[in-house]
């Protein structure tokens, strides 16, 4: 059994000139946004200021990011989530596949951009517009999970069990991020993700107050 591979600068295939220019612009917009928010706060930061700091036009900002909230929240995780889950062994319980992929993604994301991870989750709990937009984007992620879980379990993506498990996971992960931020990011985020998955699969009966669980899966869960 091999570990999930999430592309990094070292493993991702080389980009063409056009793609490199687009990526450079996206990163410049994001970095300018984060810098301005740290300096003056979210509400005081305007798209016009972001465009000036990134040395692009406001229309370019909107071409890459439909809203200011999208600049804060957008990442490249959804396509990776789907591909990495599909690469896990077909006979592996879906909860274990999710545990491996999510833990690795969270660990890599925090290792590469720890301050960004903290800022995004802080804004999520402090700015209603950011939290609302995050919930919208997470519904897309839930649809991806429905497809993958359906394929793995031989069910339809629209089955009640598939939908409730997938969207329940999305809601749980959102609350995990909020919990992490509310506690000033003191906890280890990958460990919190593990606790969340344990709770979803075994419930309170299978977990102590630390979140440790000896029950690998719960009745009625996709496996």
pLDDT in tens, 105-130: 888 777 777 888 899 899 999 999 99
CA 148 to chain centre: 16
The predicted-structure confidence for 30-75, as pLDDT tens digits, reads as follows 999 999 999 999 999 999 999 999 999 999 999 999 999 999 987 6
Q: Tell me the pTM.
A: 0.75
Give pLDDT, residue 9. 40
pLDDT confidence of residue 2: 29
Does residue 213 register a pLDDT over 50? no
Q: How far apart are CA 181 and CA 123, in angstroms?
A: 9
Burial of 15 (0-12, 13-18, 19+ CB in 10 A): exposed
Domains of the chain (ranges; CATH) run 17-66 (1.10.10.60), 75-206 (1.10.357.10)
């Amino acid at each position: 059994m091999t570990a999930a591979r999430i592309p990094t600068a070292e493993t991702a295939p080389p980009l063409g000139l056009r793609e490199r220019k687009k990526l450079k612009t996206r990163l410049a917009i994001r970095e300018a946004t984060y810098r301005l928010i740290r300096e003056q706060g979210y509400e005081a930061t305007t798209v016009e200021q972001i465009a000036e700091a990134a040395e692009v036009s406001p229309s370019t900002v909107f071409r890459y990011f439909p809203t200011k909230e999208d600049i804060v929240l957008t990442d490249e995780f959804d396509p990776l989530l789907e591909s990495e889950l599909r690469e896990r062994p077909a006979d592996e319980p879906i909860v274990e596949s999710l545990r491996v992929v999510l833990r690795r993604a969270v660990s890599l994301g925090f290792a590469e951009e720890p301050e960004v991870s903290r800022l995004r989750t802080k804004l999520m709990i402090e700015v209603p517009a950011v939290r609302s937009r995050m919930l919208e984007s997470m519904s897309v992620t839930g649809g991806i999970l429905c497809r993958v879980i359906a394929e793995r379990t031989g069910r339809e993506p629209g089955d009640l069990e598939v939908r409730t498990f997938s969207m329940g996971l999305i809601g749980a992960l959102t609350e995990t991020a909020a919990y992490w931020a509310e506690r000033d990011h003191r906890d280890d985020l990958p460990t919190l993700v593990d606790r969340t998955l344990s709770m979803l699969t075994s419930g309170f009966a299978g977990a102590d107050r630390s979140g440790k669980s000896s029950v690998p899966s719960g009745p009625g869960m996709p496996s």
